[in-house]
Structure 1
Amino acid sequence: MMKKGILILLVSLLVGCAPAKEEQVVLTFKDIDFVEYGSTFETKDCIEKTNGEIEEYPRLDTTLVGKQKLSFVVVKGDQKETFEKEIEVKDTQLPIIELKKQKDEIEYNGQYDALSYLQSVKDPVDGDLKYKKESEVQSSDKMYYTYHSDVNVKKAGTYTIQYRAVDKNGNETQVNLKLSVKAEEKKNEVKASTSQKEKTPPVQKTEPIQENVESKPPKEPQQADYSYVLTSTIAQTKSAQKTNKIVTVTSSSLSSRKAVVQYFVKSGNQWVEKMKVNGQLGKAGMGQGSENSTRTPIGTYHFTHAYGLKNNPGSLMSYTKINEHHYWCGQQYYNQFVDDTIMDHSQCSLSNDEHLMDYPGSYNYFASFNYNSSNVPGVGSAYFLHCSKGSYTMGCVAIPEAKMVYLLQNIDTSTIMIIDQVQKVTNH
């Protein structure tokens, strides 16, 4: 019995002297699967949390399209672990072709210069593109623009000049200009008298006047001639004095369900257009918003938060991934986001709320803005910039999903959004 007691004591002492097991090194990543080509991205923004120190952050080259594997070395005490994260760089931005006018007219058998109608051709990331004759274009060519014309100047009618631009990564934009050829004017022919044997040339009574034709500079583009917003117009807005990022949502009429959505950034002293895409407005067009209307509300706003059914695409704003507990309230917490695990939502009639999970496609990604920020019941709620699904919305603004992702990666809460008719943008 004595020996057995001593043995137990020795075992206990040995166990008590054993060193405590060191905590395992941990590193978790945020749900960022891709970033936009040419954007500024810090790899430290990939990190959700870690219990150690990261030796050195790897670099993501956003000038290279494709998947890149990033290695993070984490040190904790005497331990060192390597964690890998794969991120894809995508180029979703189309080159931009800006015309001086959308249509023109020339005389029968007249002349025209297709290139003279171009204001600029550029890629938002790679800059200006170079002209290449259509006959010289190869299928492998990139970073160029060209045009195709079917105009017959000796036949009256309306023809199309199609401009095409291709950027470094193969994204392509096409824009058309309509050119009308006037009908031929028939001149009255004077028949000579049968008794007249010779035609006497008319007497020149005065010397012909020699006109001095001075070369005139090209006419500056005027907003009234365009169905989208010019950078020169953005510079004239009051909003341009308050921020360096502006999103415009414009249409040609109040009743139109179609919009042009553009994104402008101030670079130095110049405003630059970074994105232009067709979008959708409310079923009843744009105007005064309200709970019972389907109009997109005209006004000047700023963005407040980013959301989505999908993982965070690298949003500059705070991002909430939508789940079954999330609502946009139309009653007790009017025009507010509700998480029913945090807020008591039991007194609300769910028929007045938007259960955000119920809108796949449209709400894959969306951004809220400060319409009715005072939360006045009846004035209208749940107005967002979201992904396109269908040909109109119930009052929101919708754009293609790839463009929505691009905006979330670039806009922030200081970005101003202007919603109005294109001719009234300078009122903002």
Structure 2
Amino acid sequence: MSRRFLGVTLAAATLLTSAAAPAGAVASPSFRGDAGQVVTVVADSANATTATLTAWQHEGRGWTRAYGPVPAYVGKNGIGRASESTSRTPAGVWPLTEAFGIKPATTRLPYRQVTTSDWWVSDVKSPYYNTHFSCAPGACPFDEAAGENLGQAGPVYDQAVVIDYNRAPVVPGAGSAFFLHVGNGKPTAGCVSVPARDLDAVLRWLDPAKHPVINISVSG
């Protein structure tokens, strides 16, 4: 999975999520890539723990709003440079290539229905760092205390989209397990979260053939 930066400018991201723009308004982000769908997540400041999420699709010569805007939560430490030692949401443009959840799939993205044998590895010493791994609890080849059991997380992982930050190449300690998932009304450990109904709508809209990405930024 690519960690390529697709070149959306901050000014364009601000334009896309302008509350003053009418539904269906056309904007002109500057992409260097083939993304036909973009999910923008824009916070008012780098330290903000809330943001606005909007889904956009490319039609003809411009972009139209497909869903939103809706309120979202981001990391407890805001948006910026992510790491394993902070609860910060990574700023940048990242592909959305796969999804998972405790519930059955409602998306066209490749989807994994998870159980208590599904983990996301956050052990910086493990060769499996920042990847999915399947193993029975107590029998995993990494420090399970430094991992997340996806099937035990509860409703927040009823559905989730993997944010492809720090995945190719994987840099130990640069941060792991960043998802767009169901919100619980609180800031996250670095993920982006929205209400379940909104996430379900976005998941149904996402189309891998259109190479969707998420653009996480600060407006100020």
TM range (shorter): 0.7 to 0.9
Superposed counterparts of 1:233-248, under 5 Å: 235-238=28-31, 242-248=34-40
Residue 145 of structure 2 corresponds to residue 348 of structure 1: no
Give, as a single letter, the amino acid of the residue that structure 2 aligns with 1:364: D
Structure 1 partner of 2:214? 417
Structure 2 partner of 1:289? 82
CA deviation digits over 1:273-317, x for unaligned, max 9?
Answer: 11120100000111100001000000110112110111112x111
Structure 2 partner of 1:317? 109
Aligned residues: 195
Give, as a single letter, the amino acid of the residue that structure 1 aligns with 2:144: L
Q: CA RMSD in A?
A: 2.0
TM-score (norm 2): 0.82
**Partners of 1:302 and 1:354 in 2: how far apart?**
21
**Partners of 1:401 and 1:323 in 2: how far apart?**
19
**1:99 shift after superposition:** 6.0
**Partners of 1:412 and 1:298 in 2: how far apart?**
23
**Partners of 1:375 and 1:99 in 2: how far apart?**
36
Question: Equivalent of 1:330, from 97, 122, 128?
Answer: 122
Question: Equivalent of 1:394, from 189, 192, 208?
Answer: 189
Structure 2 partner of 1:371? 165
> CA 1:236 to 1:305, structure 2 compared with 1: closer, same or farther past 3 Å?
closer
**1:416 shift after superposition:** 1.5
**Partners of 1:335 and 1:291 in 2: how far apart?**
10
Q: Is contact 2:97–2:212 with CA below 8 Å preserved after alignment?
A: no
Question: Equivalent of 1:270, from 55, 59, 62?
Answer: 62
**Partners of 1:284 and 1:417 in 2: how far apart?**
19
Question: Is the partner of 1:264 in helix, strand or coil?
Answer: strand
> CA 1:99 to 1:337, structure 2 compared with 1: closer, same or farther past 3 Å?
closer
**1:330 shift after superposition:** 1.7
CA deviation digits over 1:148-202, x for unaligned, max 9?
Answer: xxxxxxxxxxxxxxxxxxxxxxxxxxxxxxxxxxxxxxxxxxxxxxxxxxxxxxx
Residue 91 of structure 2 corresponds to residue 298 of structure 1: yes
Give, as a single letter, the amino acid of the residue that structure 1 aligns with 2:218: Q
Structure 2 partner of 1:251? 43
Q: Is contact 1:307–1:367 with CA below 8 Å preserved after alignment?
A: yes
Q: Is contact 1:259–1:279 with CA below 8 Å preserved after alignment?
A: yes
Return 5+ residue gaps in structure 2 as ranges. Answer: 1-17
**Partners of 1:422 and 1:378 in 2: how far apart?**
27
In percent, how many aligned pairs have the same letter?
26
Q: Is contact 1:303–1:412 with CA below 8 Å preserved after alignment?
A: no
**Partners of 2:29 and 2:185 in 1: how far apart?**
34
**Partners of 2:76 and 2:205 in 1: how far apart?**
28
**1:391 shift after superposition:** 1.9
**Partners of 1:309 and 1:379 in 2: how far apart?**
27
CA deviation digits over 1:236-286, x for unaligned, max 9?
Answer: 3225x5321111011110000010001001122231111120100000111
Give, as a single letter, the amino acid of the residue that structure 2 aligns with 1:244: G
Residue 156 of structure 2 corresponds to residue 359 of structure 1: no
Query: What stretches of structure 1 move > 3 A for 4+ residues in a row?
Result: none
Structure number with greater Rg is 1
**Partners of 1:99 and 1:346 in 2: how far apart?**
47
Higher relative contact order (CA 8 A, sep 6+): 2
**1:231 shift after superposition:** 4.2
CA deviation digits over 1:72-129, x for unaligned, max 9?
Answer: xxxxxxxxxxxxxxxxxxxxxxxxxx864xxxxxxxxxxxxxxxxxx53x5x7xxxxx
